[in-house]
Amino acid sequence: MGQLDGKVALVTGSAHSIGKSIAIGLARQGASLVLADKDVPAMKETEKTIAELGVQVEAVPTDVTEEKQIEALFEKTMQRFGKLDILVNNAGLFYSAPIDEMTTEGWDRLINTGLRGAFLCTRAAFRIMKKQGGGRIVNIGSISALRVRDRNAAYNTAKAGLVGLTHSTALDGRKYGINCGILHPGNVRQDRMPPAGTPPPPRPPNAPPIQGMGPDEMMTPDEIAASAVYMACQPANVNILEMVQLPTEQPFLGRG
C-alpha cells in the first residue's frame, strides 16, 4: 500500500531529471500520474516506466508558456481521472549571462517558463482543488531564490518570484484545504548536463570563481525527488511551506 493510493498527481517538466524522478517517486507511492513536457519522446519513456509500476498514467505534450495548452492539459486530466490531488510545478530552464548582456528574449523565455508557467498551472489546479475540497501544490524552486548567484538575474528572479507565488497560494488556499510548498534544491546532476569533469564555460578574468560545482557537490535527481514526494505525502492538515536541500559540501551562506 502506498501513501498516495487513489490520488492523482500532475508533474510538469516530467521528461527528464528532477521531474522524471518525482513522477516515478509519486507513482511508487500509488498515485496515478499526468505527465506534461515538450520533449514528447523522452516523456513517453517516462510514461512507459511508470506504467510498468502498475499505476495509471497519461502523457500530455505541453508547453507551459502557452496558456491554451495549459487549459487543455488540465481538461485532459479531468477527463481521464475526474480530479487532481497533487500538482508539481517543475518545468523550468536555465540561462546565464551578465545583466548588461542578457537578452530580452532570454529573459522572457526563462520567466515565462519558470514563473508564468507555474502561475498558469497553479491557477488551473487551484480552481479544480477549490471545487473538490482540497489538494496540494509543490513548487520546485532553487537556493538561487534565497542566495543569488552572479550572471543569473533571470533565473534568480524567476525562482524568487516562485517563492512569492508559493506563499500567496498557501495563503489563498488555506480556507479551501489547498496546501502549497516550495522545495529549494542546491546543485543537482541533471541528465542533460555535460559529463562530470567537463570544464565550465569561460568567465571574465575579474569574475570570482563559482563555488559548489565540484563532483562531490552534486545531488542526484532521485535525492531531490524523495523530498518532493515527502512533501506531497503530508496529511491534509500539514504543509511544508519551504525546504532547502543541498549537498553537504556545497557553499550556501556566503557562496560565490
Of 9, 48, 54, nearest in space to 32 by CA: 9
User: Does residue 155 have an active-site annotation?
Assistant: yes
Strand partners, 179: 136
Q: Which three cell numbers stand for residue 111?
A: 520567466
d(CA 98, CA 32): 42
106 burial type by CB count under 10 A (0-12 exposed, 13-18 middle, 19+ buried): middle
- Other C-beta atoms closer than 10 Å to the C-beta of 199 total 6
d(CA 60, CA 76): 8
What are the DSSP E strand ranges found in the chain?
8-12, 32-37, 57-61, 86-89, 135-140, 178-185, 242-245
Answer left, alpha or beta for residue 201, where phi above 0 means left and psi between -120 and 50 means alpha.
Answer: beta
Distances (CA, A) of 246 to 12, 30, 71, 144, 174: 22, 27, 34, 12, 29
Distances (CA, A) of 88 to 76, 145, 156: 17, 18, 20
Out of 95, 155, 176, 230, the active site residue is: 155
Q: Which residues are catalytic?
A: 155
